[in-house]
Structure 1
Amino acid sequence: MVYPANMPLWDEEVLHAYAKPFKKPLATVAREQAATYGVKNTGLAGVLAAILGGSVPDSTMNVLLTEGLRNLAGKTVEELSNLPGIGKDKALRLVAAFELARRLASLPPEEKPAIRGPEDVAALFVNEMRHLEKEHMVVLLLDTKNRVVDRETVSIGTMNSCLVHPRELFKSAIKRNAAAVILVHNHPSGDPLPSAQDREITRRLVEAGQIIGIEVLDHVIIGDGNFTSMKAKGLI
């Protein structure tokens, strides 16, 4: 079959419809960004879209963004339900999110244990670590007043060894803006005296901490109901 030279192969209206760029709703784009980069790394639109979903009309998203957080936090379920594309279910979710934020803000400050010496470290770990069958290396993250900010297990080894790389140990300390750290690990044998490997690992970690500005205050080794502080023994 031969087509006439002047006969179009495509319907122009259909071709134009397919060629027209597709514009995603603001809520969909904002929700995708929140899912990709994390909610805390997006703006208010991303937070709202993560709660409400991506099906909210652009006009409604613009109203919510124009209102601002303070005004939004005071809205009732009924007021929000009247916005196009919201409905009672989405309005309830949004009101509940603001109520959760209010309750979190009203909580009293969490008591953070302060570390005054190796005995305080041992009190936190002896009962927990004395019966472990493998060596566990834990790092205590401290603030400028030697209060515990967080703790993290950075390595689980064998019955008589536990290797840890400075990169893994200090990654959490940098992320949590810790001023100093204390290393804690157990000896399944029950004998808390530091081995040659313990001394070498500690030396490397102390040197790495000096380079990045996070001091290694101590390395406490937990045995069966007892402990050893490498700081107290003059090994740090």
Structure 2
Amino acid sequence: MNQSNTIKEIPELERPYEKCERRGAASLSDEELLAVLLRTGTRGENALALARRILYHAGETGILGIHQFSMERLTAIKGIGKVKAIQISCISELAKRLSKASYQEALCFSEPGTIARYYMEDLRHGKQEQMKLLMLNTKSRLIGETDISKGTVNASLITPRELFIEALQKSAVYIIIIHNHPSGDPTPSRDDLLITKRIFDAGSLIGIELLDHIIIGNNCYMSFREEGMLLERI
């Protein structure tokens, strides 16, 4: 297929719109799905060719790379203006929200696996470590969440004081901390162990229990609670 062809010049059986109508969206490739959403290509390049170039831009390995694109990085791609950059950013955010919504009904804060699945798409694509604080009431229902660190999760940079000020303001009884490892390996580092111990000990003193520290990897997770590490006081 000549990538300079317009979509209308592509044989009808190969056009993404017609293929979707005939066989359903599941029959489309990643490139075809993105092309349908982009609607148009650029001068000398149809929507399919543009979609292919976006998906494999700068070494990205396909559709998961969309989560890595900032607005600035998108508009740096030849042929991507503000409108298409906004479209792609919204596609990425919509995918994350759909994934979270699909796990929302099953979310149980006493089961680390459901928490990990719920936050997986939010965190596993990050190129920096990001830590979230989840605050729960007496019935272990979520009453608030907030980001407490972005960048390197370092024991010397995260102070229990700031974390518990937030929890006290929300009248939290329990807390859970959750963060990602950009490497994809959820094995806890020494800093992860130190942070967890400091927060666990501080919570014990003021009556706000740390229920778990969950580390998100690439489609996998590690729970301090499941591993018995909280009971051992780390």
TM-score, structure 1 length as denominator?
0.50
Whole-Å separation in 2 of the counterparts to 1:124 and 1:176: 22
**What does residue 185 of structure 2 align with?**
191
Mapped pair 1:203 → 2:228? no
Whole-Å separation in 1 of the counterparts to 2:206 and 2:189: 26
Q: What secondary structure sits across from 1:204 in the alignment?
A: helix
**What does residue 216 of structure 2 align with?**
222
**What does residue 121 of structure 2 align with?**
127
Q: What secondary structure sits across from 2:145 in the alignment?
A: strand
Q: How many residues align?
A: 125
Give 1:96-107 correspondences, 5 Å limit. Answer: none
Offset at 1:114?
A: 4.0
Offset at 1:164?
A: 1.3
Could you give the per-residue CA deviations for residues 173-214 of structure 1, whole angstroms, max 9, x where no partner exists?
Answer: 100000100010100000001111111110011000011110
Q: What secondary structure sits across from 2:161 in the alignment?
A: helix
AA aligned to 1:124 is Y
CA contact (8 A) 2:108 2:115 kept: no
Whole-Å separation in 2 of the counterparts to 1:121 and 1:169: 20
Q: Which runs of 4+ in 1 moved over 4 A?
A: none
Give 1:4-23 correspondences, 5 Å limit. Answer: none
CA contact (8 A) 1:135 1:161 kept: no
Whole-Å separation in 2 of the counterparts to 1:150 and 1:123: 18
CA contact (8 A) 1:114 1:145 kept: no
Please say which structure displays the higher CA radius of gyration.
1
Percentage of matched positions with identical amino acids: 42
Mapped pair 1:156 → 2:150? yes
AA aligned to 2:163 is L
CA contact (8 A) 1:194 1:230 kept: no
Could you give the per-residue CA deviations for residues 22-55 of structure 1, whole angstroms, max 9, x where no partner exists?
Answer: xxxxxxxxxxxxxxxxxxxxxxxxxxxxxxxxxx
AA aligned to 1:130 is R
CA contact (8 A) 2:130 2:149 kept: yes
**What does residue 137 of structure 1 align with?**
131
How big is the alpha-carbon RMSD for the aligned residues of Structure 1 and Structure 2? 1.9
Offset at 1:232?
A: 1.1
AA aligned to 2:110 is R
Whole-Å separation in 2 of the counterparts to 1:172 and 1:180: 12
Could you give the per-residue CA deviations for residues 44-89 of structure 1, whole angstroms, max 9, x where no partner exists?
Answer: xxxxxxxxxxxxxxxxxxxxxxxxxxxxxxxxxxxxxxxxxxxxxx
Q: What secondary structure sits across from 2:175 in the alignment?
A: strand
CA contact (8 A) 1:139 1:183 kept: yes
Unaligned runs of 5+ in 1: 1-110
AA aligned to 1:174 is L
AA aligned to 2:176 is I
Offset at 1:161?
A: 4.6
Q: What secondary structure sits across from 1:208 in the alignment?
A: helix
AA aligned to 2:140 is N
Whole-Å separation in 2 of the counterparts to 1:147 and 1:214: 14
**What does residue 84 of structure 1 align with?**
none
AA aligned to 1:195 is S
Mapped pair 1:180 → 2:174? yes
Whole-Å separation in 2 of the counterparts to 1:124 and 1:157: 21
Whole-Å separation in 1 of the counterparts to 2:108 and 2:228: 22
Offset at 1:116?
A: 2.5
AA aligned to 2:113 is E
Whole-Å separation in 1 of the counterparts to 2:154 and 2:172: 27
Unaligned runs of 5+ in 2: 1-104
